[in-house]
Amino acid sequence: MESTSVREFAERILLTTSLEEKLTHAPASLVIDPPKRGSYHAPDLPGRPNELIPQKHQAKSAFPSAPQIEHEEHRATLLHFFANHELLAVELMALALLKFPDAPDAFRKGVLNTLKEEQNHTRWYIQRMQECGIQFGDHPVTPMIWEHIATMESPLDYVSRLSLTFEQANLDYAKYYAEILSQAGDSKSAKILTKIYHDEIAHVGHGLKWLRRWKQEAQSDWDAWHQRLHLPLSPMRAKGMAPFNETGRRKAGLDDHFIASLKRYHSSRGRSPDLWYFNPDAEYAAETPSWTCPKRLHDLAADLEPAFALAAPTQDDIVLMRRRPSDSHRDYLAQFDLSFPEIAPFEELETIQKERKMRSVRPWAKLSPLLSKETTLTLRELLPANLNPLPAKISSPTLLSDDYENWVAKDLYSAAGRGIHRFTQETVAQLPRKSFLIEPWVEKLMEFSLLFHRRPEEEGGLRYLGSARQTTDLQGQWRSSSSLAKPTHGLSPDLARLIGQHLMPTIRQFIQPALEELLSSHAYLGPICLDSFYYQTPEGPKWQPVVEINARWTMGRLAHEFRRKINSQKSFTLTTCSPPEARKWIDDQKAIVLADPDTASRRVPILLEVESFGPPLL
């Protein structure tokens, strides 16, 4: 009998369009290939018969709920979902054998054994769903698992993504649905799920064995696994949308630290909630007590508020939203380990405050005199003169000196670059005759925010959190904020050196004490962001430490919080785009789209992971 190599067998499994051939076990004469260097390029999708080709944008069948399992048609649909997952596992295991021919023989034999069991699982599901009245391919199938795993670059990636993520999640699904099917009187399907559950325990154990062999000795299992997952894959995928199964994980060999860490992921601590809401028109409301938010600002706030709702609250809190996110978009965000806390309608603010016990109320901005740009001048006056190189004054439009050609007048109550009026000697007469904050318009080398948070003294008082780089358009309106793992990344050596030598000492010695004096006089607690920039002069770069004080949350602070939540070792840019562009970002999987583009009216906040500073032009 002619022998078959592992490569020949795996390639046939991966590329064939015959389902029968794909589910045929390896021959007894299978020969383990000798170690061989080289790379195998994965196809865009595995070979499939036409009715089983995964369609990314095809309408999906609804995943049956537990009560629906009482009906045979829904049980068949459930088995159809599971069969596709098992078939994808077969194909991905074949791909791993092809991509890593120089992996240890013991590892490859383990993959071959697991592949055989996944073939069995697929056959069991197909046979049982046929008995329930449907054929494999009667419902759309998704390539989601393939897309997460096919890009694997090492055997460690394989065990981290497939064995310890998707197969670990099956410890929840298989046990739970075996019980549900048994309760529904479908003992045949329940027995299949029970057998698969016991196999999956061994599959997770196989992945754990090789994770421990290949990880750094000092790393915990949890850290080694968690660090191998990259966006959009996260530990959330290792938990099924079913009761968390500790017993199965212990049988697979996962230790207490791993299980506890995964179980705590986004878990509540049970405290009274903070109540959060997004009010980006706070400056206008502070200036005009009778202010009513116009529809255009209401719609824009509804577009942008998911960024605030995802970044600022914890899972213990409640957030008010003008537009409730769809379940499908929440499922999408869960891929990135982002989830909303409890959501309530924005218009129920007063009702919730009356009827529910709250720890605190935390808006985007508290209505306060601190929101006026006059506060900026107050803070400047508390600083040494050399830290105010650019002149500034509250007055009607006028040139404060002849040293600068271009000037800017800022409305005293405005935000995000709105209410900015650029002028020169020739155009100053065109501006309204009212009080503005007047200052020069200079050539900026870098714009950034200094991020602080003030808590009660017993909780640490005023703390400096870091900085966020920002970009604005030619009119000074906000475009993006970036929280960088290395704040000087991408800067010229001169500017990086200047920041390294002067920024932190100046913050500690002068800015933080002056800011504390100002905030304590207003009894203010909460986020504080100081807009700041470096600008070019004939003598070289100069720093204007305080351009504006924002006694509220800012997009820079949100970018900082997203980086802290997702991965503090990476850099992220928070910006916005149009709804059609947002849909493209979702399709390309190159950004996290924070709001649902199907319901947004004007702008959609998105988060990009950036290798170097300089977000795309949107």
157 and 231 share one domain: yes
Q: Which of 241, 264, 287 is the last residue of a domain?
A: 264
On whether residue 54 sits in a domain, the answer given is no
The residue behind tokens 């006028």 is 398
Q: CA 403, CA 250: separation in Å to the nearest integer?
A: 73
The residue behind tokens 């995802």 is 310
254 and 150 share one domain: yes
Model pLDDT, residue 613: 46
Place 79 in a pLDDT band, splitting at 50, 70 and 90. very high
282 and 249 share one domain: no
Sheet holding 592-593, edge to edge: 540-550, 526-537, 444-454, 462-472, 478-483, 572-577, 604-609, 592-593
225 and 322 share one domain: no
Model pLDDT, residue 58: 58
Model pLDDT, residue 415: 79
CATH (domain of 237): 1.20.1260
260 and 281 share one domain: no
On whether residue 314 sits in a domain, the answer given is yes
Q: Which of 208, 233, 264 is the last residue of a domain?
A: 264
Closest by CA position to 73, among listed 131, 126, 133: 133
Terminal C-alpha separation, the chain: 62
pLDDT surpasses 50 at 86: yes
Place 190 in a pLDDT band, splitting at 50, 70 and 90. very high
210 and 304 share one domain: no
Please answer whether residues 592 and 336 qualify as being in contact, where contact means their C-beta atoms are separated by less than 8 angstroms. Answer: yes
Q: What is the mean pLDDT of residues 562-583?
A: 93
pLDDT surpasses 50 at 615: no
On whether residue 260 sits in a domain, the answer given is yes
Range with lowest mean pLDDT among 118-127, 282-291, 410-419: 410-419
Identify the domain containing residue 86 by its residue range: 67-264
The residue behind tokens 């199964």 is 245
Model pLDDT, residue 616: 38
pLDDT surpasses 50 at 269: no
Question: What per-residue string of b and e applies to 305-320 under the rule 16 or more CB within 10 Å gives b?
Answer: bbbbbbbbbeebbbbb
Q: What is the pLDDT of residues 385-419, one digit of tens each?
A: 999 999 999 999 888 888 899 999 999 998 777 88
List of residues 6+ apart from 24 with CB closer than 8 A: 119
On whether residue 221 sits in a domain, the answer given is yes
The residue behind tokens 């506060």 is 375
Q: Which of 363, 397, 423 is the last residue of a domain?
A: 363
Q: Of 141-145, 170-174, 413-417, 567-571, give the range with the top mean pLDDT.
A: 170-174
On whether residue 148 sits in a domain, the answer given is yes
CA–centroid distance for 135 within its chain: 37
Q: What is the pLDDT of residues 319-375, one digit of tens each?
A: 999 998 887 888 888 888 898 887 889 988 888 888 778 889 999 999 999 999 999
Share of the chain above pLDDT 70, in %: 95
Q: What is the mean pLDDT of residues 273-286?
A: 93
If you count DSSP H runs as helices and E runs as strands, how many of each does the chain have, helices first?
20, 18
137 and 180 share one domain: yes
285 and 260 share one domain: no
Give the β-pairing of 407-410 and 420-423: antiparallel
Q: What is the pLDDT of residues 161-188, one digit of tens each?
A: 999 999 999 999 999 999 999 999 999 9
203 and 278 share one domain: no
Place 11 in a pLDDT band, splitting at 50, 70 and 90. very high
Model pLDDT, residue 275: 93
173 and 235 share one domain: yes
Place 224 in a pLDDT band, splitting at 50, 70 and 90. very high
pLDDT surpasses 70 at 601: yes
On whether residue 590 sits in a domain, the answer given is no
Model pLDDT, residue 232: 65
323 and 249 share one domain: no
Is-above-0.85 flag for pTM? no
On whether residue 210 sits in a domain, the answer given is yes
How many C-beta atoms surround the C-beta of residue 554 within 10 A?
24
List of residues 6+ apart from 310 with CB closer than 8 A: 333, 338, 339, 340, 562, 594
On whether residue 110 sits in a domain, the answer given is yes
pLDDT surpasses 70 at 57: no
Cis? peptide before 232, omega within 30° of 0: yes
321 and 296 share one domain: yes
Model pLDDT, residue 257: 87
Please state, in angstroms and as integers, the Cα–Cα distance from residue 492 to each residue in 374, 469, 496, 497, following that order: 34, 15, 6, 8
Q: What is the mean pLDDT of residues 143-158?
A: 94
Question: DSSP string spanning 134-189?
Answer: --TTSS----HHHHHHTT--SHHHHIIIIIIIIHHHHHHHHHHHHHHHHHTT-HHH
- Count the domains in the chain: 2
How many C-beta atoms surround the C-beta of residue 208 within 10 A?
22
CA torsion through residues 199, 80, 335, 152, sign = positive
Question: What per-residue string of b and e applies to 602-612 under the rule 16 or more CB within 10 Å gives b?
Answer: ebbbbbbbbee
Mean pLDDT across the chain, nearest whole number?
90
Please answer whether residues 423 and 542 qualify as being in contact, where contact means their C-beta atoms are separated by less than 8 angstroms. Answer: no
Closest by CA position to 415, among listed 576, 286, 277: 286
How many C-beta atoms surround the C-beta of residue 26 within 10 A?
17
